[in-house]
Amino acid sequence: MSARATATSPAAARGNERKRPSGGSGRVRLTPRASILLFAVFIVAVFAVAPMRAYLVQRSELEGLQRQATQLEQQNTELERRIADLNDPSTLERLARECLGMVKPGEIAFVPIPKGRAPTLPDCG
């Protein structure tokens, strides 16, 4: 072996010293640059909490409004069907006869009364 192969350069010796733990404490040292970065991340996190909370509140509000819109669309469909039903002449005649007791000219109206109790009214809703 040559003397050159066994000799170490000062740079290599310094590199080996950096890899070894200093003082044996094993503690991580916080540099000024790292502390500034950590502080900046903390500030960003603090200022991000309020917008994130507002976003989550608005998202849940939007889901509730979408459910309400779906229910209202179903009610509108049912009401449109009811309007179409009430515009039918046969439905109007049936309601006039059952609910209002109306008869055509020349007809005789009979109202059956059950024994011992009052007559029941038809559902005219």
- Ranges 16-30, 47-61, 91-105: which has the least confidence: 16-30
Cβ atoms of 99 and 124 within 8 Å: the answer is: yes
Residues 6+ apart with CB under 8 A from 85: 91
- By CB atoms closer than 10 A (0-12, 13-18, 19+), residue 114 is exposed
CA gap 69, 63 in Å, rounded? 10
pLDDT tops 60 at residue 17: no
Report pLDDT for 77. Answer: 97
pLDDT (mean) for 26-32: 84
pLDDT tops 60 at residue 22: no
Tell me how far the alpha carbon of residue 71 is from its chain's centroid. 16
DSSP H helices, the chain, are 3-6, 10-19, 32-86, 89-100
Report pLDDT for 16. Answer: 53
pLDDT tops 70 at residue 34: yes
**pLDDT tens-digit series, residues 49-87:** 999 999 999 999 999 999 999 999 999 999 999 999 999
CA gap 7, 14 in Å, rounded? 14
Residue tagged 């024994």 (tokens): 115
